[in-house]
Amino acid sequence: MIRIVSTNCVPVAVNLYLIRADKGPGGDLFRSVSKQMDQYQGFWMASPEGKALGKYHDWKGDPAVPLAKRVVMMVEDALKAYGPVTPRDVQACDHLPHRGRGVQADGSVNVALYGRLLHQGKSDGPMMLDSVTLKSSEWARFAPPESGSKEWAIPETTARSLARSVLSPGDSAGVFRPEDFTQAELQAKVESVQGGKARISLTGTWRAAGLYGGEKGHPYGASASAEGFALFDVEKKSMDSFFLLYSGKTWGKTETPARETGGVAEWTAVTNGERSNP
């Protein structure tokens, strides 16, 4: 799939909730293609002129054929319908070089977020992938205070951003806005200092409620708690690693029934492909 798309197509990912309301040429193109080949969401293949060539959203198709293979077959058929294409010479690259690792030139860091719906402690659906960029001033609040205090609170604005998508893992429609949170608490405490490294324990609690995709008929809510650690280099005054493990639940119109959720927020200073653990 990656080879076929990267060498023959121009891949575009769009947010359904935004593109269908877009009044510009992007929205016009989406509406035209979806009218030609109607489906709620999924994959479309279209020519540069806007002619629909193929679509796929049959998640319950022939079980004898793997889902990925079914999508590949659709893409291959659409390419045949379009006609000859000169393959591009595509080179592999890291499109998210700072996700979950390294400090950027302005001192900010990009914390990687992962989330899953769970059932009896086991994964129940695909993994949600997201990230949040913390400014250098926000990141500095995870370091032990210069006052020498061993315990401190992380600002609520930062706590909210670290849980915005982990509380209700799914697509972008389920990302909570800052005003959706009724609780966002994250506490830090220096547990020990050894070999010039301060081990900081982290504990947090969150609760939020909003409208899924901004639609009034789809209220949803979630809550979670988290525990984790950070490793801080006392001599260099810089963070080495950061990790939070979330456990919670999400619900629709009412809190009962609810579905279990789990998530992770992580970052490491290592940038050469290795990983360091707190």
- Does this model's pTM top 0.85? My answer is no
- For residue 272, the model assigns a pLDDT of 58
CA–CA separation, 63 and 246 (whole Å): 34
Residue 1, token pair as written in the block: 């799939």
Q: Report the candidate in 31, 58, 24, 59 with the shortest Cα–Cα distance to residue 46.
A: 31
**Can you point out the beta strands (E) in 90-166?**
109-119, 122-123, 128-134, 151-154
- For residue 91, the model assigns a pLDDT of 84
- For residue 213, the model assigns a pLDDT of 85
CA–CA separation, 116 and 129 (whole Å): 9
Residue numbers in the chain where pLDDT is lower than 70: 272-278
Per residue in 109-123, pLDDT (tens digit) is 999 999 999 999 899
CB atoms within 10 A of CB 148: 7
Identify the helix (H) or strand (E) that includes residue 44: strand 43-46
Q: Report the candidate in 95, 259, 108, 91 with the shortest Cα–Cα distance to residue 170.
A: 259
CA–CA separation, 106 and 273 (whole Å): 22
- For residue 58, the model assigns a pLDDT of 81
- For residue 15, the model assigns a pLDDT of 87
Per residue in 201-225, pLDDT (tens digit) is 999 999 999 999 888 899 999 999 9
CB atoms within 10 A of CB 140: 13
CA–CA separation, 72 and 89 (whole Å): 20
Per residue in 221-239, pLDDT (tens digit) is 999 999 999 999 999 999 9
